[in-house]
Amino acid sequence: MSHNDMHKVTLIPGDGIGPEVTDAARKIIEATGVNIEWEVVPAGAETVEKYKTVLPDITFESIKRNKVALKGPIGTPVAGGFKSANVTIRKTLDLYANLRPVRSLPGVKSKYEGINIVVVRENTEDLYSGLEYEIAPGVVESLKVITDKASLRIANFAFRFAKRRGRKKVTVLHKANIMKLSDGLFLNCVRKVAKDYSQIEYEEMIIDNACMQLILNPNRFDVILTENLYGDIVSEVCAGLVGGLGFAPGANIGDDCAVFEAAHGSAPDIAGKNIANPIAITLSGALLLKYIGENREAKAIENAISRVLTKGEILTKDMGGNATTTEMRDAIIGELK
């Protein structure tokens, strides 16, 4: 795509530190010269008063219309009993693939180097279907739902992604030795899809062993493909390998639209203080740029962040420095120029 292509992108500032970090990300993205018209829509605690919901219809309509959104963190109010906005967005828009790339960044405290892993997590079913019943006093049953439709769909997504990005290997994580039917079905679906991608190395690993391998030798992994619950846990383990959620971008992708967001929460304790680290949401913005075909600009942002971190002069509080959100933003923009 060329610079004169105008992209319309939905922007959801979110709660807590959301407005501060999304604003920083937006200005960094604009500094690449990419042509984006932002449509800012509300979601989160602030909308409850006015719209009686954390997710007003106008927000959904905007995402459906523009097909792409950059979303700040949304807190789930504990009292009002509102469903998690994040889950609602995924379910309503059928964003069945959760994508969590983690890579080592220069100057970020971590015991590992050279990590470059992408976790592809099924986003719609498994134990997260929320089908739980008390079948007798003191006895609860929780249903793990696995379908071949969802399993084939996520497997196809993972292998397509690996091929498009020139990735060499897909490792599927499972527990089919114990859950022979559910994880067995998932595994069989993945095997079917793997057959069509002979150029990509394919391996299977039992989830508990994989967790050990991630800590002993994380560099052996490239693309990890797994079910919803395992994926939730493993993507946080991977984020920990490269310094934590302050550096963890994420995407929820469906056939029609995609929502890009940082993995971290809304951090209400530091909201409005201009001290939150904007790197995770900015990296999520870079993922968004790749998704809409602006690869050069995405790379430019990733490289600018790397250069700021390599210099190590501008570090936010979570990184042991005292730079503000806006100072970090301006440093990244400075490296883009």
Residue by residue, DSSP assigns 52-90 as SSSS-HHHHHHHHHHSEEEE------TTTTPPPHHHHHH
Residue 1 pLDDT = 44
Cβ atoms of 249 and 266 within 8 Å: the answer is no
Q: Which residues of the chain have pLDDT under 70?
A: 1-4, 76-83
* Dist. CA 119–CA 101, nearest whole Å: 6
CATH number of 111-241: 3.40.718.10
* Dist. CA 260–CA 23, nearest whole Å: 14
Residue 44 pLDDT = 86
Cβ atoms of 189 and 148 within 8 Å: the answer is yes
Residue 222 pLDDT = 98
CATH number of 1-96+249-337: 3.40.718.10
Residue 78 pLDDT = 59
Would you give the distance in Å from CA 31 to the centre of its chain?
23
Residue 79 pLDDT = 53
Residue 312, SS3?
A: coil
This prediction's pTM: 0.93
Residue 249 pLDDT = 96
Query: What is the domain partition of the chain in residue ranges?
Result: 1-96+249-337, 111-241
- Asked whether this chain's domains 1-96+249-337 and 111-241 adopt the same fold, the reply is yes
Residue 51 pLDDT = 86
